[in-house]
Amino acid sequence: MNLTPMAEILNKANKENYAVGGFNINNLEFLQGIIEAAEESRAPLILQTSEGAMRYIGKDYVVGMVEAATKNASIPVALHLDHGSGFEKAMECIRLGYSSVMIDASHDPFEENIAQSAKVVEAAHSVGVSVEAELGQLGGTEDDVTVDEADATYTRPDEAVEFVARTGVDALAIAIGTAHGVYSGEPELDFERLEEINEKTDIPLVLHGASGVSDDDVRRAVQNGINKVNVNTDFQQAFTDRVKKIFAEDPEIYDPRKYCGPGREAIKERVKEKIEILGSKNKA
Ligand code: 13P
């Protein structure tokens, strides 16, 4: 696959103060909509699959589709495992050809999270693959990962410093008030905490659960050190809303191309808007 290590993409974003989309793919239409939008925006891109999406699509199909999508790509593209559940899953993705993996041991105690993350870093770096890990816990649901709001914990700046030093991760996902999935109220981001973590660490920081966060807050997060912004729900809603509209207008429709095609267009439009907000347009 014609892929770029995620660290290379994010280190440039870190130096030039913008963020790259970590955009989840759920099926072929997502992949096409996202890559077309990134190409037309001349934006670097991180395509990511959750373990749930890998099961849904099938891992060989993921690789085959991404291979086709990136064959003639003129922008840097990373393929990243989102919320990897352990060492074995990360190694499986590396063997499949992913250029980046996330190890999410954020639900484990601090020392255990460090041990698991460092183990993945050692193996991944030996073959040029980048690693993202998470410290602190977001509420909400992302496929297989569900965290009750009451169990969500914000990232502690001093722990972030120690975590980065002891693991050698390339990017750190932090918890500053966002949640995965659809918000029940208005999300409130802890920008002071973000600023402090950004001052104390020097690696790219990752914002998960960016769907439903206002454009202004996403921009402010990027100004304060976020270099990767994960979006999934927003694009799922864009696709589904467009399909619903088509069915409302023509309940007799039966050819999937007549609603999946417009759904793909809706994703593409939304991705282009996100790229503008993240500041990654024309950064390829
Ligand atoms: P949303 O689905 O809330 O956009 O979150 C995506 C995400 O963080 C993937 O890891």
For the packed helices 215-223 and 191-200, what is the interaxial angle rounded to 10 degrees?
A: 20
Domain-wise residue ranges, the chain? 6-278
Residue closest by Cα to atom 9 of ligand 1: 230
Beta carbons of 243 and 33 less than 8 angstroms apart: no
pLDDT band at 146 (very low <50, low <70, confident <90, very high): confident
Provide mean pLDDT across the span 233-244: 98
Centre of ligand 1 to C-alpha 237, Å, is 12
Provide mean pLDDT across the span 188-200: 96
Range with lowest mean pLDDT among 38-47, 84-93, 145-154: 145-154
Q: Answer whether 208 contacts ligand 1 (Cβ < 6 A).
A: yes
Q: What is the pLDDT of residue 216?
A: 97
16/191 Cα distance (integer angstroms): 20
Q: Is the pLDDT of residue 138 over 90?
A: no
Instruction: Measure Cα distances from 21 to 35, 250, 254, 260 in Å.
Output: 11, 34, 33, 23
* Class of 6-278 in CATH: alpha beta
Centre of ligand 1 to C-alpha 282, Å, is 24
Q: Which residue has the tokens 């990360």?
A: 90
* Burial group, residue 13, by CB count within 10 angstroms (0-12, 13-18, 19+): buried
203/39 Cα distance (integer angstroms): 26
> Of 264, 274, 243, 233, whose CA–CA distance to 28 is shortest?
264
Q: Specify the ligand 1 atom closest to the Cα of 233.
A: 2
Provide the edge-to-edge strand list for the sheet that holds 145-147.
145-147, 139-142, 179-180
Residue-wise pLDDT for 164-184, tens only, equals 999 999 999 999 999 888 988
Q: Answer whether 82 contacts ligand 1 (Cβ < 6 A).
A: yes
Q: Specify the ligand 1 atom closest to the Cα of 234.
A: 4
Q: What is the pLDDT of residue 107?
A: 94
Q: Is the pLDDT of residue 150 over 80?
A: no
Q: What is the pLDDT of residue 100?
A: 98
Q: Is the pLDDT of residue 151 over 90?
A: no
246/265 Cα distance (integer angstroms): 13
Beta carbons of 238 and 269 less than 8 angstroms apart: yes
Q: Identify which has the larger pLDDT, 203 or 144.
A: 203
82 among known catalytic residues: yes
Q: Is the pLDDT of residue 30 over 90?
A: yes
* pTM of structure: 0.96
Q: What is the pLDDT of residue 205?
A: 98
Q: Answer whether 210 contacts ligand 1 (Cβ < 6 A).
A: yes
Residue-wise pLDDT for 248-267, tens only, equals 999 999 999 999 999 999 99
Q: What is the pLDDT of residue 49?
A: 98
Provide mean pLDDT across the span 230-243: 98
Residue closest by Cα to atom 1 of ligand 1: 209
Query: Which distant-in-sequence residues (6+ apart) come within 8 Å of 134 by Cβ?
Result: 102, 104, 105, 106, 172, 173, 174, 175, 206, 208
Q: Answer whether 80 contacts ligand 1 (Cβ < 6 A).
A: no
Q: Answer whether 143 contacts ligand 1 (Cβ < 6 A).
A: no
pLDDT band at 141 (very low <50, low <70, confident <90, very high): confident
- In percent, the amount of the chain with pLDDT more than 70 equals 99
Catalytic residue among 60, 82, 151, 241: 82
